[in-house]
Structure 1
Amino acid sequence: MEQALKIGIVTQARATSTRLPAKVLLEAGGRKYLEHHVDRLHRTGLPVIVATTVNADDDPIVELCERDEIPVFRGSEDDVLSRFAGAARTYELDAIVRVTSDCPLIDPEVVAEGVERWRAENDENLYLSNCLERTYPRGMDYEVFSAARLFDADQKATLKADREHVTPYLHQNRPGDVRLLNVSWPIGGSQYRLTLDTEDDRKLLSTLIEEFAADKLDCAELVALLDAHPELAAVNAHIEQKKLGE
């Protein structure tokens, strides 16, 4: 592959989340969670594209993006695979970093290191992620893959779960020629939730941002903070992550 690849971060966002409606438009520290999320991703130096839906419910997300001059793409609500493929085509990406907008404290250095590892491998068939095996806290997840593999998945994937969740066709290696690579984290903290899915998640994130300046902390500092304050980690420790297909 050529070195001058155009790699972009595509983050999915919608207002019709079921467990915590319009969660990315809620605020902490005077800023919407989506703004915290995109701000941190911008520190990677990569372009960031918000992939939302054509539903009127998501007009406020589009308005926020337009106000903050964040590139946006609108596509299907349920066929998120086609939405990502559409975003990649529209913005002429050669490779995609997939993240989700319910990660307002995602660490840009963690993402950037993953992208550099993917580049160094120089393999169009490589799917690289830090969550094939859980070693990071939830809320730090990313996936990197070529546009070619994304477009192939969009053309061939037929299972509902593959289309709703974008990447199972790749990380389950349904084509048979995808190379999988997991980036692990030696520091620990995989038991922690720094993701926004429920009201208790929101309570924790709001406290971390407003009382501990968490929006300025990296992943290791966030883990150290939760290690030092088990009462904070307990706020959402009981939450079970939704399973694939739920």
Structure 2
Amino acid sequence: MVDGLLNKKIAFIIQARMQSTRLPGKIMMPLPFGGSEPLIGCIVKSLQKSAFRHVITIATSNQPENEVLVSFCKYYKVAFFRGSEDDVLSRFSTIVSNSDCEVVVRLTADNPFVDIQLLDTAIENHILSGADYSTTQGLPLGMNFEIVSAPSLLSLSSKNLTPDDKEHVTLFLKRSGLYQLNVVRLFEEKKYDSLRLTVDYPSDYLVASALYTISLAAGIPPGIGLIDYCLQHYPWVLNSNAHHFQKGNYTDLADELKHVRSILEALECKKTLSLLDSQMPQK
């Protein structure tokens, strides 16, 4: 770690709500199954181990079903903020504007595998790069990070934002061309790219629960070391939810089509792919 960097104050903001179409209440489900620690509590515990000066805040909405999150925060002595259901960016902006943090890390409450050493490495890279926005690559789905310089995030309030920009906190930063972007490639090989460690479907939760059970039994923290261990000893666990597709926040038509193609290819929809290709302009 470069001297002086640890004096930078980091805001870890966990975007959270109880509502979920496919798995309601998932963020308060125990990990592992039958345990006492809720999923969101596992995230908080990992973040507390960061070497940086930091504050952890749960950013939720004013919807009544989120009262249970308020109770969680009070019990765990974690800061929280409640705001607009749809304008998630406004929640982040309010939290940051009322703090002295210099860097913001956006996390979501359905991603319980936080490798804190890799996160600290990514934060250091972001600070040294001078970028407005950094994202990591090379980790399983649900383990990559988004890091934003606080002034850059606050500047978004003066922009002409769409409803999508307000709902998806970092979308305007990525698509506008007005900000300096940085990619932190944590692993050059692509062995993790096909793995799914977010919790969206019941089978995702079963995978996460199994991994946390293995973590406790083997004494391995729930980070990339655990994933390597399971790839070697229990690869079938990590393959159990591979059939799911992930919703995305696409920056443009080309990005959206790229993801559509991957789904069509997985389903072997050759005629549809051929039709799609015939309608697209040739490069």
TM-score normalised by L of structure 2: 0.78
- Does the aligned pair in 1 maintain the 2:86–2:167 contact within 8 Å? yes
Q: 1:105 aligns with which of 106, 113, 119?
A: 113
Bigger fraction of residues in helix:
2
- Does the aligned pair in 1 maintain the 2:12–2:104 contact within 8 Å? yes
d(CA) in 2 for partners of 1:190 and 1:59? 36
2:49 counterpart of 1:43? yes
Q: Which residue number in structure 1 is paired with residue 254 of structure 2?
A: none
Counterpart of 2:239, as a letter, is A
- Which runs of no fewer than 5 residues in structure 2 stay unpaired? 251-283
- 1:117-167 deviation per Cα after TM superposition (whole angstroms, max 9, x unaligned): 12222x2x5211114xxx210121211111211111133142121111100
d(CA) in 2 for partners of 1:196 and 1:162? 23
TM-score normalised by L of structure 1: 0.89
Task: Say which SS state the counterpart of residue 59 (structure 2) adopts.
Answer: strand
Listed as ranges, the matches of 1:1-246 within 5 Å are 4-29=7-32, 30=35, 31-45=37-51, 46-121=54-129, 123=130, 125-131=131-137, 135-172=138-175, 174=176, 176-184=177-185, 185-187=187-189, 188-213=191-216, 216-244=221-249
CA offset at residue 229 of structure 1? 2.2
Pair 1:105–1:115, CA change in 2 (3 A): same
- The runs of at least 4 consecutive aligned structure 1 residues that moved more than 6 Å come to none
CA offset at residue 70 of structure 1? 0.6
d(CA) in 1 for partners of 2:29 and 2:45? 16
Counterpart of 2:49, as a letter, is R
Pair 1:76–1:223, CA change in 2 (3 A): farther
- Which runs of no fewer than 5 residues in structure 1 stay unpaired? none
* Structure ranking higher on relative contact order (CA contacts 8 Å, 6+ apart): 1
- Does the aligned pair in 2 maintain the 1:7–1:97 contact within 8 Å? yes
Q: Identity, % of aligned pairs?
A: 29
Pair 1:27–1:157, CA change in 2 (3 A): farther
- 1:6-42 deviation per Cα after TM superposition (whole angstroms, max 9, x unaligned): 2211110100122211111011232100000111111
Counterpart of 2:235, as a letter, is P
- Does the aligned pair in 1 maintain the 2:215–2:226 contact within 8 Å? no
Task: Say which SS state the counterpart of residue 181 (structure 2) adopts.
Answer: strand
How many residues in Structure 1 have an aligned counterpart in Structure 2? 237
d(CA) in 1 for partners of 2:142 and 2:114? 6
Q: Which residue number in structure 1 is paired with residue 268 of structure 2?
A: none
d(CA) in 1 for partners of 2:158 and 2:9? 22
- Does the aligned pair in 1 maintain the 2:89–2:169 contact within 8 Å? yes
Counterpart of 2:39, as a letter, is Y
Counterpart of 1:20, as a letter, is L
- 1:52-106 deviation per Cα after TM superposition (whole angstroms, max 9, x unaligned): 1111111111110111111111111111111111111233322211111111111
* Stretch moving more, 220-229 or 76-85: 220-229
